Structure formats: C-alpha cells, structure tokens
Amino acid sequence: SECWKFMITGANNNSEIKLWSCESWACLQTIHFKVNPTTPITSLFMNIAIDFSGQYLVISDINNRVLYVMQLKRNDKEQVVQVISLAQFLLPAPFLSFHILEASNRKIPYSYNNSNEDLYDDH
C-alpha cells in the first residue's frame, strides 16, 4: 500500500515534471525546465531516473550536458511530497543512459584541483 502514495510524471521530453498524490490525485508541485535563450539549442531532452529510496530524482539534460539532482521530501502526515533541493552539475558529455545504485547528500568543494585524492572516498 505504501508503494503508490505518490507519482512523478514528465511531459514535453521531460522538461515539465509534476509530483502527484495518488490518494487525492492532486498535483503537488510542477517544475519547468526552460531553454536558455542565449544558446543555439532550441529544445530540451531530459532523461530521468529515481533512486530506490524515492528520495533523489536525477535528470540528465542531454542537449545541454547538465545533470540535475533533486532531493525529494515526503510528509505522510500531510500526504505531500516536494522537491527541497536542486543541484546542478556540468558534464563533459551527455548522459544518454544511467542507473542509480546509491544516493545520499555529500558536500563537494566548489573548486577541486588535487587529482591524486578521491573526492568521494569515505575513509
């Protein structure tokens, strides 16, 4: 019964994302990605995946080579889910296909220059 409390839909090549309550069928939040008018790219094409916990929505903007990570917060008492944070990462190449094995919050320095050190090492 817990599996279908909320739903995520995408429209217009996933440039419009909606979070829904499956109990009231109300749209809880809508997020629109817009084309940057200063670039020659005229359309967006987004690839979307969600982690197994349902807390992180990962969106790959294939045309602009950007990866977005949205953190979702669920409140069962109020029967809502909402995006509470958004991170943006520039990519050297588009992510055409991906799979999320594990997701969590990490603090990443704004600038990283030491290539001998693993930025994500948990030791």
Express each pLDDT in 62-72 by its tens digit: 999 999 999 99
Residue 117 in any domain: the answer is no
What are the pLDDT digits (tens) for 42-66? Answer: 889 999 999 888 899 999 999 999 9
User: What DSSP line would sit under 32-85, residue for residue?
Assistant: E----TTSS-----EEEEE-TTS-EEEEEETTTTEEEEEEEEEETTTTEEEEEE
Residue 54 in any domain: the answer is yes
Of the two residues 111 and 84, the one the predictor is more confident about is: 84
The domain of 16 spans 6-34+44-90
What are the pLDDT digits (tens) for 17-40? Answer: 999 998 889 999 999 999 888 888
Distance CA 105, CA 85 (A): 11
Contacts of 83 by beta carbon, 8 Å cutoff, 6+ apart: 19, 29, 31, 57, 70, 71, 72, 73
Domains: count for the chain: 1
Residue 13 in any domain: the answer is yes
CA dihedral of residues 97, 103, 104, 108 (deg, nearest 10): -30
pTM of the model: 0.78
Residue 98 in any domain: the answer is no
